Amino acid sequence: MVDLAFVIAGSEATGGAGLQADLKTFQQLGVYGLGTTTCIVSFDPENNWGHRFVPIDPQVIADQIQAATAAHNLDVVKIGMLGTPATIDVVAEALGRQSWRHVVLDPVLICKGQEPGAALDTDNALRTQILPYATVVTPNLFEARTLSGMDSIASVDDLIEAARRIHDQGPQYVIAKGGVELDGDDAVDVLFDGTDVTLLTAPKIGNERVSGAGCTLAAAITAELAKGTDVVQAVQIAKELVTRGIKGRVSANTPFDTVWQGA
């Protein structure tokens, strides 16, 4: 029988990130995926590819989750972009309605190209209402800074400290991603399970961020967990898939290339 994975995330209309990247990743790893749309992001090609963001009505989000969870017995879910406190309310309520073997949270606080600082209420709602449900959380450097409350993360040691502080807020596993923003030749991710720190390193592939890398990493972890893979191995498989997907990236007219999950 095929394993199932559920994702609650935003649609990103160019196909590079969000729900589209998540479902492609599930398929690539041999997992049957289904998704609930929280919001619709349409980059604006006439305005420097800025984000046009439309939240889905909370009742419609609740309806989608009801349909998905009634149709299938789901126990592994990825949470991607939520975007508003009202969305976070309805998703938190749904997470609390049943038990989950794994909740993988990609704490999308802001997308590439968006103005920071506009969304403090959303950041706080994500921290207090969703983070405690997460078994695995995958912050990038900016998100790790926000969730840990640290002023700056400039080294791998800082990243480890951030992972510890985020772990204290509930998740069993924290994967704090250094990416291209942390200095050095390697892309370093820190995996902290409350006891041990594991460093995952791969040589950086250029110094440009690639759209969909974070979504794809968390989705690949989710797919592997759905198949019963343990967390450490799931993270390793996910990192390899993302590294291949960045090497084989799809170029576009957008300012960012995008990950190719099928590479």
Member of 166, 215, 231, 241 binding ligand PXL (CB under 6 A) = 215
- Toward ligand PXL, which CB reaches closer, 18 or 35? 18
Q: Can you tell me whether residue 193 is helix, strand or coil?
A: coil
| 10: contact with ligand PXL by CB under 6 A | yes
Cα–Cα distance for residue pair 202/247, rounded to 1 Å: 12
Please report the sign of the dihedral spanned by the C-alpha atoms of residue 235, residue 132, residue 122, residue 225: positive
| 7: contact with ligand PXL by CB under 6 A | no
Q: How many CB atoms lie within 10 A of CB 45?
A: 11
| 220: contact with ligand PXL by CB under 6 A | no
Tell me the closest approach of the beta carbon of residue 159 to ligand PXL, in angstroms. Answer: 19
| 123: contact with ligand PXL by CB under 6 A | no
Cα–Cα distance for residue pair 209/178, rounded to 1 Å: 11
| 107: contact with ligand PXL by CB under 6 A | no
Structure tokens at 86: 């009202």
Strands annotated E in the chain: 4-12, 32-44, 50-55, 76-79, 102-105, 136-137, 173-177, 186-192, 197-203
- Toward ligand PXL, which CB reaches closer, 131 or 156? 131
| 18: contact with ligand PXL by CB under 6 A | yes
Cα–Cα distance for residue pair 206/251, rounded to 1 Å: 14
Structure tokens at 221: 């972890």
For the window 162-201, what string marks contact with ligand PXL as x by the rule CB under 6 A? ----------------------------------------
| 111: contact with ligand PXL by CB under 6 A | yes
Member of 7, 8, 41, 82 binding ligand PXL (CB under 6 A) = 41
| 33: contact with ligand PXL by CB under 6 A | no
Please give the radius of gyration of the chain, using alpha carbons only, rounded to the nearest integer: 17
- Toward ligand PXL, which CB reaches closer, 108 or 191? 108
- Measured from each CB, the residue nearest to ligand PXL is 10
Tell me the closest approach of the beta carbon of residue 200 to ligand PXL, in angstroms. Answer: 20
Helical packing angle, 213-227 and 18-28, nearest 10°: 40
Q: Of the listed pieces 8-16, 90-98, 172-180, 244-252, which binds ligand PXL according to CB under 6 A?
A: 8-16
- Toward ligand PXL, which CB reaches closer, 51 or 227? 51
CB 227 within 8 A of CB 3: yes
- Toward ligand PXL, which CB reaches closer, 18 or 33? 18
| 12: contact with ligand PXL by CB under 6 A | yes
Residues that bind ligand PXL (CB under 6 A): 9-10, 12, 17-18, 41, 80-81, 108, 111, 214-215
